[in-house]
Copies of this chain bind each other. A is one copy, B any other.
Amino acid sequence: MKRYESLAEDIAQSIRTGVLKLGDRLPSVRQASASRGVSPSTVFEAYYLLEARGLIRARERSGYYVIAGARAMPPEPEIVSRPDGDSTPVDVSTLVFDILESTRSRDVVPFGSAFPSPLLFPFDRLARAMTTAIQKMDPWSTIDDITPGNASLRRQIALRYLIDGLHVHTDEIIITNGAIDALNLCLQAVARPGDAVIIESPSFYGALQALERIGLKAIEVPTHPREGVDLGALALALERHRPKACWLMTNFQNPLGSLMPDEKKRALVELLTLHDVPLIEDDVYGELYFGSKRPVPAKAFDTKGLVMHCSSFSKSLAPGYRVGWAAPGRYAQAVARQKLTTTLSVSAPVQAALAEYLAKGGYDRHLRQLRHALSVQQSAVMQAIVRHFPAGTRATRPSGGYFLWLELPEKVNALEIHRHALSLGISVAPGPMFSAQRGFTNCLRINYGHPLDERAEAALATLGRLVSAYSDPKTGAAAGNQGKSRNI
C-alpha cells in the first residue's frame, strides 16, 4: 500500500468510527503534511482518493469537509448473540441448501450471495499465467504435485506469510480445493463423530454444515460485532465442554465482519494453548482489509503448532479456481493424509498457473484495486440502507471483507423477508442460516461485493419497504404486493 493510500485509509477509518463527523473540516494540506510527516502531494493524493470515494468534498477556498461517515450509517448492533452455552447437535444444512440454491440464478439480485462480483478479478492475467504454466507443464508433475502440492506454489504462499511477519515453513503448507476443503480436513484431523467443537455465534454456515456432516456437536460462543468472539465465554466453554477444536474467523468474520484486535488474538492463542485445544482459523477475508495493513492471523502468536491456519485465493484473486491451503502446525501430516484419502490432490495445471501468476508479480496491485472497490461499495450500500430501511435497523461496520450484518426491528422475521424478497427477484441471507439453534431471526447478511447499480439500488429500496411492512405484522403480507411479485 502506498503512503497516500495508507493516509486515506486512516482518515476513512476515523470517519467510519465517528472520530470525524459529518461536516467536520479536515486539516489543511499544509497542516496534515507537517503533523503526519509526509509530503504535501501525499496529503493531496489522499484527499483526492477520499473525495473519489464520496467521503469528503472540497469547498472552494475553504478546505475539505466530511460529507459522509458515521452519521450517514445506521447505528451498530447490540451484542447480538447470547447462545445458551450448551453443546447442540446441528441440523441446519437443509435450510442452508434451500436458501443457497434459490439464490444462484443470475437473474436474482445477489445480496444473499456468498461471492463477490467475479468482474473484480484479473481473469485475463490469470489466463495468461495458465497458458504459460500449461505449456511448460512436465507430465511427471501430475505425480509430483500430489498432496501436499506444487512446490513453487507452496513457496509463494510461504513468502506471503513472511511478508506478513509469520514464519510458516513451505513443508507445513498443504494445497487444498479452496479454504472450505482445508477447514474440513483440519476438522476431520482432530475431531471424531460425537465430539464437541466451539464456533462463533453467529457463525459461517459452512462450519455448521461441516459439524452436521461429521456428526459433531456445536458449542456456540457469543461474538462481538466489532471485536469477535468473547474470550470470557470461550474460557467457560473450554472448561465445561472439553471441545476437540475451536473454529473461528478472526479477520472480517462471516457474517458479522468483526475483526479481532491483535492483543485479543494473542490472548486467544494463550487460552487455547492452556487447554491444548487446536484453533482452526478461517482467514479467507484477511487480504480484503480497508485499513492500512493486513491484520495478522492468530497464527502469528502461536508457538506450539496449535493453530491450523486456512485460507485461499478464492476471495482475493481467482474465484472458481478452487485453490486454497492449510498451514496446520503440528497437525500437518494428519491433514495431508485426510486430503489424500478424500480427493487425493488439487488439479496440477491450476496449481502451476497460480504459482506462475504469483511469481510474475502483480498480485499486490490487484489487491489494492480490489480493496478499494469493496470499500467504495460498502459506503454506497451503507448509505442506501440509511436511505431505504426503517429506523431501528442496525448494521455492522466491517473494516474489510464484503459482508454487512443487519439487525432489523425485533418483530421482523428474516426467513419471511427472504422468501418474500426472493419472489421479487432479490436474495438475502437470513440470520437463522448462521446458527445451530436457528437464532438471529431478525437479522440479515448483505453482500456488498457487487457494484450498487440501479437494479441493486431499487432492490435495496424494495427490501427496505419489506422490512418496514414486516415490522408491523398486520401490513406485512400486503407489503409485498407493492413490488413486482412473481408468485402472485
Q: List residues of chain A with CB under 8 Å of any chain B CB.
A: 93, 97, 100, 104, 106, 115, 118-119, 121, 123, 126-127, 130-131, 134-135, 137, 139-146, 176-178, 180-181, 184, 188, 192-193, 206, 209-210, 213, 215, 319-323, 337-338, 340-350, 353
Contact = CB atoms under 8 A, between A and B. Distances in A.
Contact of A337 (B93, B115, B188, B341): B93
Contacts of A338: 213
Given A343-B343, A349-B321, A127 B118 contact: no
A341 B118 contact: no
A322 B178 CA distance: 14
A149 to B, nearest CB: 12
A434 to B, nearest CB: 15
* A118, A321, A322 interface centre (most CB from chain B within 10 Å): A322
Copies held by the complex:
2
A240 to B, nearest CB: 25
A115 B348 CA distance: 15
A138 to B, nearest CB: 8
Nearest to A185: B342
A218 to B, nearest CB: 15
Contacts of A139: 118-119, 121, 123, 319
A340 B210 CA distance: 10
Given A213-B341, A350-B349, A123 B106 contact: no
A93 B341 contact: yes
B344 A322 contact: yes
B137 A123 contact: yes
Given A106-B144, A130-B349, A320-B348, 17 more contacts: A106-B143, A118-B143, A123-B139, A139-B319, A142-B319, A143-B319, A177-B177, A177-B346, A178-B344, A184-B342, A184-B343, A188-B213, A206-B341, A321-B349, A322-B348, A347-B350, A349-B349
